[in-house]
Chains A and B, each alone.
Chain A
């Protein structure tokens, strides 16, 4: 039977052996997570942790630097600041959500909202239209302000049908 004291010693050895491994894994995960927020500066435009193209002169050095900072326990903000100081704002993989860069994030939302409002407006407008619009009401207006009659449109259609073939 194993004595409690020995059991405790065994557990301690296991814990002491496993803890560094866990810490190492956590640091590797942190490097991966933070590295995913920067671009490789060799000009390939790839994420730092994904850039492994042959002949890349930058990614290995940048990852080494990042690893050192993570091992030192630097915060993400500090690391970001250090990278920006070293390489400029082009190092960001995505625009920061502050200042002028906020526009990049806001634009797609604005496009969608404006577009959706327009679509809803168009749908409501088209729904209000009478089933069969009167000839005169539907007659389009030319640049000179003269309405093209329905007959003129039909003549145009007939002309198109006559002059073209599928």
Chain B
């Protein structure tokens, strides 16, 4: 057996690399840029590329075509990413790290905005690059800002809606306690009472922070420090844990993402259901839906009034490496214009960021959930705005999941969450 000998070179390579490491270099981890790029190309005009995830309902192409017809010398090329958020994020990071000047304008998920801003990849939208945000919903503007500077323009918004069975519940609950009292109705009808999304994934962060925010707590304080060891946070997470314990939330909800929970509601097995606006369309049109004529919508229940929804949606940012930032800024303004926002809403069911559109009679007729959604978004809290979002969401997901399953007490879960988020800020 001379075998071990043959694994030797692998070890040698390791040693070799160790010696190499002394010579530094090793390009491209998550290191940052200086400020220089943000000053360059501000007056540049010319063709640009717009990057966005999968264009689900064919909104982007018509918009780009319209823009290109009006701007023959500053054409926009649409670069379409996959439908999966993780991959969109990684793709953007790769291109930023490579300082790719070909990714000029990009659609950035709300929760990545702070990270990209802190990495110095997004052009601050001030001075020459300023965008007027007066007409926009304040919470969407907050979700596009980092350290009081706007780094991207709100593109579309999203908030949670409480769907309910209006055949069984005459008036929707305004508070969590009211909703829990109505669970007796669910019991009489032999269906589950409430469900959101409780699988361990991004959706759990949404649901858990909604619970915490609605009870008056918050995940991060104003300075971006975790603030979870509070009575409010405890009550919020405790509400969900108790509901799981007494069966108000059916036990299978621990496996639910958006689609599984939607199906449970649509097949008539839930009284109350927290989900995004997209459910409305499917619940009233899909052949298998049993709630077509029984669908009610309300704002999420809170402590003593409407709850605080987690804000979803996207912002559009300009890369600091772009060479044609003047064109990019015009395109940003085009995207946030009322006409485009209206088109987003009608063509793509994407919630607008302009306040006045929520009261627009024609739009409300087409999208009956808009008034409810307006309440939801007005009361919405962006998911924790932090450059360490991946670590923060990991801490929330893992610990609240353990609490929901009863593996951990609420106190323990919150204190672990607190400590995890504290270490996240320290690098590794």
A binds B: no
